């Protein structure tokens, strides 16, 4: 076991001090001289053609300085990857309630709002589609442009995995489950709403502070849609007040809008959203409807899985092609089968729009497969944890995709860890026989695999830089954002470990496109592996120069060097302080500013054949929930929660445990309360009074633990953690509820009526609150 | 034009006077008139607690307190907790326990904790949970925040 000084050891977050003092400056905290306030006119209809858009009356409103529409951008501000169907502001059509149509900059927020109300915007309402099951009907209203391949225009994509013929195997199985499951949309509910600030530069460009996931993507969209050169558009990430996937496409629009207005007015322009505007305008986790068929033999061997699903991307594609793909890869769960088919179809509707959200399609598919596996175990009369242990992926197994797992597979150890921590066998047996007529307890389990980083979704590399300054401070840059998980601390720890210096010497810049290097998107829990490896290599390159200088100074060979604290030691000399070595390196003319680039192992996926190597490594995990259900009200109380995760070597334990706790809490909300309910395209819950997320009294004590399987390609053996902690929570709780009540809730969330009555009550909705909020300060 | 009200009150021990329309919230006064941006606004609806300050000894959602109600009040914000150099021990406990992630809810969370501990120096777990139940946090699952407050109380 290597003895590290920092890796895996307790350390304070590098950005926590300014946050507990309240001095961390988020976008909304900037008040610059001459700053204008921006506000969008947003669509009040779910689907309409823009017949007339005249902004001149708004310019007459006192305080209004400028108004922009899609005409103020190149190609109307079209952007989006891989499908380019979004616009900086709506062009020709609006496809959901809350879509930005025009943007006003004014001296005060009130004047900006008055400006939006003065715009003459005539919309011709078009028929809309809100039910994903009917999105591909021949006569369904067409949302996007016609497709070149002649397929239905509301068809977004098909995402298969094919391994043998599950139909042939299912008929042979001793027990088969054939059930439908459904998830609803979820709101990210970061406590800081969206915001951007753009400042015109004297060179005619723009500097933007954007609360977003990926500053280089924001810069790219600003450059392309406003015709600016690479250095003329600069994006800095201020501290980001939570994101969870949410501060991506929508806030790139916000950034583009304020950048355009700053160039037009030659003044700083800031836009920050109200909570209502945030909830109405922002994309969500998409909804999914699944039919899952799984079969096994009497002895408990899983044999076949046929997973068929429809995923609702809402009005735009955003990240749905990637989300859907990740969902399809994991839809069969972390098990061995004789045959498996996944068949996932993604469609457009006018229900807001779906995009990236922690887990990226996996919380959705796990709500299906991990309940189906439980139902199958029950049908066979086998303990659901034993059933998972018997069938789960192990080292050397080949997955249904055709990938052989050659290292770092800790799933069975995770299952064993939660079984022990939770006292599973005793509780499972005890809860099978309860007599209290009012309250019943249950305990449920799930198993998880989750591909690390982007996978075959795209090019996967990152670059970090490191520099020693004249005063011997060391600074790092990364093009990846830390919106809460702690990656900036991880990078400082890695750099300190590699250089052999005190971590107090090391500072990390905020992500800045003029200082850092493009490292791809900050998504897919890839920061530790990709950014961590890049930092490791950058620091290694720097240390090689320092080692060379130390050897020269001490008159020895590099391999003879030893370290005592920061100091260097040669075979015969007294210790030489690190600063002296650095100074000697400077005199020798050695470079003290280096970078490191890391590219992920090459992988491939055949989209037609539904086979390949989708991810270069997997995170594994197992979770157990213990619940008490009040049979008189349907209220579920989560009493205890156990989560064991194989994240490879844990670099920053404080941060990693924070991800488990936070992920479980977010999943608990998804399981029990959270429901983004659109009524004919109008969001019904537009603030935290009706959209309920877990509070301190709802979240139980969470027993988290790590199974540290070394991953050879990860920095110090690390894999990832942020998303996976959240992925299996909902089915874990639903499996526990099923034991408690004897009845399964197959549609999320497991709210009072679904638990108590076993059915979904239909509420009346109204477009009023959305319409009022879009016109309020 | 709405008539402006002159409101005199104390913030972090200093006497201040602002002139604002009566519907202006204390959160807006602190952030915009006084530049005390440590107090955050998350929902402007009294639900999320990011704007929590201590008003006359009690934790309040400053987005729900209107200008006329502030007249004569004693207000403490995150900027008045600890000093320029030293941290309040509860801030140190947040650091030690790793109770900070994105940090947007943190100032409000600290203010709720300070109000609780000044009223009840040795709260039980249920009391801690109750005291911060009006402060939403989407990152931490509350676990380390609760630990930080309890450990601080236990260590005094």
- A650 phi/psi in degrees, rounded to 5: -85, 120
| pLDDT tens-digit map of A248-264 | 999 999 999 999 999 99
Q: What is residue B156's predicted lDDT score, i.e. its pLDDT? A: 67
Residue A1 has pLDDT above 60, yes or no: no
Q: What is residue A459's predicted lDDT score, i.e. its pLDDT? A: 85
Mean pLDDT of chain A: 97
Q: Among candidates A536, A549, A641, which has minimal Cα distance to A598?
A: A536
Full domain range(s) for residue B55: 5-80
Which tokens sit at A170? 């299912």
Say if CB A119 and CB A64 are below 8 A apart.
Answer: no
Q: Given this structure, which CATH class describes domain A31-126+194-272?
A: alpha beta
**Number of domains chain B contains:** 2
Residue with tokens 């086998």: A382
Closest residue of chain B to A665, computed from CA coordinates: B141
ipTM over 0.90: yes
CB–CB of B136 and A695 under 8 A? yes
Please report residues of B whose CB lies closer than 8 A to that of A657.
Answer: 98, 144
- B41 phi/psi in degrees, rounded to 5: -115, 125
Closest residue of chain B to A193, computed from CA coordinates: B42
Pairing of β A175-183 and β A287-296 = antiparallel
* Burial label, A461 (beta-carbon count in 10 A; 0-12, 13-18, 19+): middle
CATH number at residue B53: 3.10.20.30
Domain boundaries, chain A: 31-126+194-272, 287-455+605-768, 461-599
Shared domain for B95 and B76, answered yes or no, is no
Say if CB A247 and CB A318 are below 8 A apart.
Answer: no
Closest residue of chain A to B77, computed from CA coordinates: A22
Q: What is residue A63's predicted lDDT score, i.e. its pLDDT? A: 98
Looking at chain A, the whole-number percentage of residues with pLDDT higher than 90 is: 97
Residue with tokens 């969330």: A749
* Domain A461-599 fold: Aldehyde Oxidoreductase; domain 4 (3.30.365)
Residue B135 has pLDDT above 80, yes or no: yes
Question: How many Cβ pairs within 8 Å bridge chains A and B?
Answer: 169
| From A20, A28, A191, residue closest to B110, measured CB to CB | A20
Interface of A with B in 590-629 (CB under 8 A): none
| pLDDT tens-digit map of A198-235 | 999 999 999 999 999 999 999 999 999 999 988 899 99
User: In 3-state terms, what secondary structure has residue A568?
Assistant: strand
Residue finishing a domain among B58, B80, B102? B80
Q: Given this structure, which CATH class describes domain A287-455+605-768?
A: alpha beta
Q: What is residue B3's predicted lDDT score, i.e. its pLDDT? A: 87
- Alpha-carbon distance of A484 to B152, in angstroms, equals 23
| From B95, B104, B132, residue closest to A192, measured CB to CB | B104
| pLDDT tens-digit map of A314-370 | 999 999 999 999 999 999 999 999 999 999 999 999 999 999 999 999 999 999 999
- DSSP element (H, E) containing A70: none
| pLDDT tens-digit map of A107-138 | 999 999 999 999 999 999 999 999 999 999 99
Q: What is the 3-state secondary structure (H, E, C) of A225-259?
A: HHCCCCCCEEEECCCCCCCCCCCCHHHHHHHHHHH
Shared domain for B39 and B65, answered yes or no, is yes
User: In 3-state terms, what secondary structure has residue A616?
Assistant: coil
Please report residues of A whose CB lies closer than 8 A to that of B107.
Answer: 19-20, 22
Q: Which residues pair with B60 in a beta bridge?
A: B53
Q: What is residue A176's predicted lDDT score, i.e. its pLDDT? A: 98
Q: What is residue B1's predicted lDDT score, i.e. its pLDDT? A: 53
| pLDDT tens-digit map of B25-81 | 999 999 999 999 999 999 999 999 999 999 999 999 999 999 999 999 999 999 999
Q: Among candidates A140, A164, A62, which has minimal Cα distance to A106?
A: A62
CB–CB of A658 and B91 under 8 A? no
In DSSP notation, B76-141 reads E-GGGSS-SSSPPHHHHHHHHHT--SS-SSHHHHHHHHHHHHHH-SS--HHHHHHHTTTS--SSST
Interface of A with B in 264-293 (CB under 8 A): 274-275
pTM: 0.97
Residue with tokens 């941006």: B37
- Alpha-carbon distance of A666 to A358, in angstroms, equals 9
Spatial neighbors of A645 by CB under 8 A, at least 6 apart, are: A414, A619, A620, A621, A660, A704, A705, A706, A707, A721, A724, A725
Mean pLDDT of chain B: 95
Residue B149 has pLDDT above 60, yes or no: yes
Q: Which of A111, A186, A191, A238 to mutate to test the interface with B (most CBs of B within 10 A)?
A: A191
CB–CB of A486 and B32 under 8 A? no
In DSSP notation, A628-665 reads EEETTT--EEEEEEEEEEE-BS-S-HHHHHHHHHHHHH
Which tokens sit at A490? 């991880």
Q: Among candidates A199, A198, A38, which has minimal Cα distance to A107?
A: A38
Say if CB A717 and CB A710 are below 8 A apart.
Answer: yes
| pLDDT tens-digit map of A695-718 | 999 999 999 999 999 999 999 999
Note the residue count of chain B.
156
CB–CB of B96 and A191 under 8 A? no
Residue A462 has pLDDT above 70, yes or no: yes
Residue B83 has pLDDT above 80, yes or no: no
CB–CB of A22 and B43 under 8 A? no
Shared domain for B59 and B117, answered yes or no, is no
The verdict on whether omega for the bond into residue A82 sits within 30 degrees of 0, i.e. cis, is yes
Gyration radius of chain A's alpha carbons? 27
Q: What is residue A777's predicted lDDT score, i.e. its pLDDT? A: 82
- B83 phi/psi in degrees, rounded to 5: -130, -165
**Mean of pLDDT values over A455-482:** 94
Residue finishing a domain among B40, B60, B80? B80
Residue A39 has pLDDT above 90, yes or no: yes
Please report residues of A whose CB lies closer than 8 A to that of B100.
Answer: 13, 16, 19-20
**Mean of pLDDT values over B127-144:** 98
Which tokens sit at A373? 């596996």
- Cβ count within 10 A of residue A429: 11
- Alpha-carbon distance of A296 to A397, in angstroms, equals 18
- Cβ count within 10 A of residue A701: 14
Say if CB A527 and CB A485 are below 8 A apart.
Answer: yes
CATH number at residue B102: 1.10.150.120
The verdict on whether omega for the bond into residue A678 sits within 30 degrees of 0, i.e. cis, is no
Which range has the worst mean pLDDT, A119-133, A487-501, B47-61, B84-98? B84-98
Shared domain for B107 and B138, answered yes or no, is yes
Shared domain for B76 and B17, answered yes or no, is yes
Distance from the B15 Cα atom to the nearest Cα atom in chain A, whole angstroms = 21
- Alpha-carbon distance of A347 to A673, in angstroms, equals 26
Q: Which of B43, B62, B109, B136 to mutate to test the interface with A (most CBs of A within 10 A)?
A: B43
Say if CB A159 and CB A364 are below 8 A apart.
Answer: no
- B20 phi/psi in degrees, rounded to 5: -145, 160
For chain B, say whether A1 makes contact (Cβ under 8 Å): no
Buried b (16+ CB within 10 A) or exposed e, A249-271: bbbbbbbbbbbbbbbbbebbbbb
Q: What is residue A519's predicted lDDT score, i.e. its pLDDT? A: 95
Sign of CA dihedral A191, A196, A197, A203: positive
Shared domain for B115 and B64, answered yes or no, is no
Shared domain for B73 and B100, answered yes or no, is no
- Cβ count within 10 A of residue A80: 16
Q: What is the 3-state secondary structure (H, E, C) of A173-227?
A: CCEEEEEEEEECCECCCCCCCCEEEEEECCCCCEEEEECCCCHHHHHHHHHHHHC
CB–CB of B138 and A189 under 8 A? yes
Say if CB B22 and CB B45 are below 8 A apart.
Answer: no
Say if CB A356 and CB A523 are below 8 A apart.
Answer: yes
Residue finishing a domain among B55, B80, B105? B80
Q: What is residue B155's predicted lDDT score, i.e. its pLDDT? A: 77
Q: What is residue B85's predicted lDDT score, i.e. its pLDDT? A: 78
User: In 3-state terms, what secondary structure has residue A709?
Assistant: coil
CA separation (Å) from A636 to A630, A688, A698?
6, 20, 10
Q: Which residues pair with A125 in a beta bridge?
A: A48
Same fold, A287-455+605-768 and A461-599: yes
Q: Band the pLDDT of A562: cuts 50, 70, 90.
A: very high
- Alpha-carbon distance of B59 to B113, in angstroms, equals 9
Say if CB A170 and CB A162 are below 8 A apart.
Answer: no
- A624 phi/psi in degrees, rounded to 5: -135, 135
User: In 3-state terms, what secondary structure has residue A344?
Assistant: strand
- Alpha-carbon distance of A298 to A376, in angstroms, equals 11
């Amino acid at each position: 076991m290597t003895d590290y000084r920092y890796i895996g050891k307790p350390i304070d977050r590098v950005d926590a001090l300014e946050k507990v003092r309240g001095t961390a400056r988020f976008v909304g905290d900037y008040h610059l001289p001459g700053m204008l306030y921006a506000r969008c006119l947003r669509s009040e209809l779910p689907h309409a053609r823009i017949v007339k858009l005249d902004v001149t009356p708004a310019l007459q409103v006192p305080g209004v300085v400028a108004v922009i529409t899609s005409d103020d951008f190149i190609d109307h501000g079209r952007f989006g990857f891989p499908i380019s169907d979004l616009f900086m502001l709506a062009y020709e059509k609006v496809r959901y309630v809350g879509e930005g149509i025009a943007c006003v900059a004014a001296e005060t927020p009130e004047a900006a709002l008055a400006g939006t109300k003065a715009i003459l915007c005539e919309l011709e309402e078009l028929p809309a589609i809100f039910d994903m099951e009917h999105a591909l009907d021949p006569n369904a209203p067409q949302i996007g442009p016609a497709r070149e391949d002649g397929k239905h225009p509301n068809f977004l994509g098909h995402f298969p995995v094919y391994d043998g013929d599950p139909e042939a195997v299912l008929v042979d199985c001793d027990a088969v489950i054939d059930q439908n499951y459904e998830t609803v949309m979820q709101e990210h509910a970061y406590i800081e709403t969206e915001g951007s600030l753009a400042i015109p530069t004297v060179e005619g460009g723009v500097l933007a502070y954007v609360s977003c996931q990926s500053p280089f993507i924001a810069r790219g969209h600003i450059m392309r849609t406003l015709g600016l050169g690479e250095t003329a558009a600069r994006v800095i990430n201020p501290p980001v007040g939570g994101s969870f996937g949410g501060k991506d496409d929508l806030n790139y629009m916000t950034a583009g809008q304020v950048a355009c207005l700053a160039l037009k007015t030659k003044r700083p322009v800031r836009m920050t959203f109200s909570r209502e505007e945030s909830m109405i305008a922002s994309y969500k986790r998409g909804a999914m409807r699944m039919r899952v068929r799984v079969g096994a033999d009497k002895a408990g061997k899983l044999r076949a899985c046929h997973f068929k699903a429809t995923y609702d991307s809402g009005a735009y594609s955003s990240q749905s092609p990637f989300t859907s793909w990740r969902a399809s890869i994991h839809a069969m769960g972390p098990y061995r089968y004789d045959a498996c088919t996944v068949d996932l179809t993604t469609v457009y509707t006018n229900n807001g729009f779906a995009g990236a959200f922690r887990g990226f399609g996996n919380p959705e598919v796990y709500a299906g497969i991990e309940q189906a596996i439980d139902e199958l175990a029950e049908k066979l009369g086998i303990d659901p944890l034993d059933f998972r242990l018997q069938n789960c992926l192990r080292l050397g197994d080949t997955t249904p995709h055709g990938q052989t797992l050659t290292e770092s597979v800790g799933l069975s150890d995770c299952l064993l860890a939660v079984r022990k921590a939770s006292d599973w066998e005793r509780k499972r047996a005890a809860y099978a026989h309860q007599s209290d007529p009012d309250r019943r307890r249950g305990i449920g389990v799930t198993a998880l695999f989750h591909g690390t980083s982007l996978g075959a979704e795209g090019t996967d590399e990152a670059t970090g830089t490191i520099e020693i300054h004249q005063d011997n401070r060391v600074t790092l840059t990364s093009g990846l954002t830390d919106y809460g998980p702690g990656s900036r601390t991880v990078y400082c720890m890695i750099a300190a470990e590699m250089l052999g210096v005190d971590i107090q010497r090391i500072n990390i810049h905020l992500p800045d496109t003029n200082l850092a290097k493009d490292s791809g998107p900050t998504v897919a829990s890839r920061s530790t592996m990709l950014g961590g490896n890049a930092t490791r290599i950058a620091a290694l390159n720097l240390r090689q120069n320092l080692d060379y200088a130390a050897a020269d100074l001490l008159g020895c060979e590099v391999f003879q060097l030893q370290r005592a604290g920061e100091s260097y030691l040669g075979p015969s000399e007294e210790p030489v302080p690190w600063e002296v070595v650095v100074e000697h390196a400077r005199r020798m003319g050695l470079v003290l500013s280096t970078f490191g680039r890391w590219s992920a192992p090459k992988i491939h996926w055949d989209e037609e054949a539904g086979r390949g190597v989708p991810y270069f490594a997997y995170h594994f995990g197992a979770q157990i929930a213990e619940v008490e259900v009040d049979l008189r009200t349907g209220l579920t109380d989560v009493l205890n929660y156990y989560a064991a995760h194989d994240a490879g070597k844990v670099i920053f334990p404080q941060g990693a445990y924070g991800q488990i706790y936070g992920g479980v809490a977010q999943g608990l909300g998804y399981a029990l309360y959270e429901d983004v309910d659109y009524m004919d395209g109008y969001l019904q819950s537009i603030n935290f009074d009706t959209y309920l997320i877990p509070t301190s009294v709802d979240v139980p004590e969470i027993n988290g633990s790590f199974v540290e399987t070394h991953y050879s390609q990860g920095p110090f053996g690390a894999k990832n953690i942020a998303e996976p902690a959240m992925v299996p929570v909902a089915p874990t709780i639903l499996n526990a509820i099923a034991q408690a009540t004897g009845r399964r809730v197959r549609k999320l969330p497991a709210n009072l009526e679904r638990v108590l009555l076993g059915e979904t009550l239909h509420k009346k909705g109204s477009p009023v609150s959305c319409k009022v909020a879009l016109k309020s300060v | 034009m709405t008539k402006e009200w002159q409101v005199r009150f104390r913030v972090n021990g200093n006497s201040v006077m602002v002139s604002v329309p009566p519907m202006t919230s204390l959160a807006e006064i602190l952030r915009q008139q006084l530049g005390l941006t440590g107090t955050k606004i998350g929902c402007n609806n009294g639900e999320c607690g990011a704007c929590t300050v201590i008003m006359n000894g009690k934790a309040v959602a400053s987005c729900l307190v209107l200008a006329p109600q502030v007249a004569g009040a004693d207000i403490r914000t995150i900027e008045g907790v600890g000093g320029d150099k030293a941290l309040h021990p509860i801030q140190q406990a947040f650091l030690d326990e790793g109770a900070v992630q994105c940090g947007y809810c943190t100032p409000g969370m600290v203010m709720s904790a300070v109000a609780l501990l000044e009223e009840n120096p040795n709260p039980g777990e249920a009391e801690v949970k109750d005291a911060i139940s009006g402060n939403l946090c989407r990152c931490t699952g509350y676990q380390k925040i609760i630990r930080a407050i309890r450990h601080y109380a236990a260590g005094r």
